[in-house]
Amino acid sequence: MTHSSKNIQFVVQPDGKLTGTLRVPGDKSISHRSIMLGSLAEGVTEVSGFLEGEDSLATLQAFRDMGVRIEGPIGGRVTIHGVGLHGLKPPAKALDLGNSGTSMRLLSGLMSGQAFDVEMVGDASLSTRPMKRVTVPLAQMGAEVATTAAGTPPLKVKGGRQLHGISYQMPVASAQVKSCILLAGLYADSATCVTEPAPTRDHTERMLKGFGYPVRVDGATACVEPGGKLTATTIDVPADISSATFFMVGAAISEGSDITLQHVGINPTRIGVINILRLMGADITLGNEREVGGEPVADLRVRAGKLRGIRIPEEQVPLAIDEFPALFIAAACAEGETVLTGAEELRVKESDRIQVMADGLVELGVDARATPDGIVIQGGALGSGAVNSHGDHRIAMSFAMAALRAGGPITINDCANVNTSFPGFVALAAAAGLQISSSEA
């Protein structure tokens, strides 16, 4: 699953501008969930706009390994022959989830309710990610999920356990933890409720409703009752706002840019990046707003503008958690100081995104200082240089866009994992006007 053996290197020349109309790949969160819920539904679910990246393909393969017949993906179209909530079969071997933390955390909830044992493994990066945040509440429900002594994968889930409904107060805002518990709740003996300390993405709740499974949402609390069923449906996956972010930032920082990003998901729990860029002075307009399969979408037009540094409002942090690497590039190109606080979560993503971004910015001559829960960036001129993405797809793509404002070429090492979330990034970016080349170094 992992491609760490190859060093894929991006070299991006300075200057250039982004223009045109483009559609970035489908939303990763929604692609994962469409496979999971489609597999457990009764009937045939048709998905279009599916993200053919390694992470969502790992989820798809896991359900194939548990006996679900899935056709595709071909051009983003997937047909899932659902087996119902109790129709999964024991896999012949461990489920390999590659680089995907979402797959492992959500599946740990679903697998806890099955009649069979299952082991879940991942690549070197996933094997360092914290899993106690899901195994602790699952244990309260009566599940048995073993981790390493450090609380990391591989995970071993014991089958045949009766799960009990709980009311869980989440200590940290995390959509993956919330989703994991709600999905386990489908198999519990009574209602399961999760209360979050701050809003996180609500794709699981929306999609459960889309499959006809009742979810009660009251303020910060979401509840499911057992005993319902999922009914097959049709899903058109919106373009991923996290992937659109690189182009939004690129257009906002490079003079003469004017791009339109089509069919982007603008779920209120995910639009922190739009809010933050607008606070910095970015010129972003939304058009053609509509709802598709329970998810709001729109076309985003972004034009170059003069950005200014801001203190990022903490309530926006969970709404933009995956977009910060790109936002740090915007901050480096803005006038004045940008301060981020309340973002400790960024240190346990695919890499320590605070430290890795700070190191890369300093390498390019930007005054950037990491803090325990954020970063302080002084906007200024970006130089030229080589940065290491540490195998983190979002860091690689963020520094690629930085070249639009750099004084010379930027070389980015360790970019193989861009394919986990954004297959075709280099070609799409080049077509929009970024002077980027990719090679095996």
Distance CA(97)–CA(99), nearest Å, equals 6
Which tokens belong to 87?
A: 């129709």
DSSP string, 127-194: GGS--HHHHHHHHHTT--EE--TTS-S-EEE-SSPPB---EEE-SS--HHHHHHHHHHHTTBSS-EEE
CB atoms within 10 A of CB 43: 14
Cα-Cα end-to-end distance for the chain: 20
**Adjacent-strand bridge partners of 439:** 9
- Measured distance CA(263)–CA(243) in Å, rounded: 12
Residue type present at position 139: A
- Which 3 state secondary structure label does DSSP give 310? coil
Query: What is Dmax (Cα atoms) for the chain?
Result: 62
Complete DSSP assignment for 182-231: HHHHTTBSS-EEEE-SS----HHHHHHHHTT---EEETTEEEE-SS---B
The structure tokens listed for 18 are: 């982004």
The strand pairing partners of 284, in sequence order, are 302
The catalytically annotated residue of 240, 322, 392, 414 is 322
Residue type, position 279, single letter: L
Tell me the two tokens of residue 436: 């980027």
Smallest CA-to-CA distance from 277 within 246, 239, 299, 243 is with 246
Angle between helices 272-279 and 241-253 (to 10 degrees): 10
> Which residues is 308 bridged to in the sheet?
335
CA dihedral angle for residue 169, residue 174, residue 179, residue 180, rounded to 10 degrees? -80
154: nearest Cα among 162, 145, 163:
145
187 CB neighbour count, 10 Å cutoff = 21
322 an active-site residue?
A: yes
Distances in whole angstroms, Cα of residue 139 to Cα of each of 143, 192, 354: 5, 14, 32
Rounded to whole angstroms, the Cα distance separating 145 from 184 reads 12
Task: Report d(CA 82, CA 133) in Å as an integer.
Answer: 29
* Catalytic residue IDs: 322
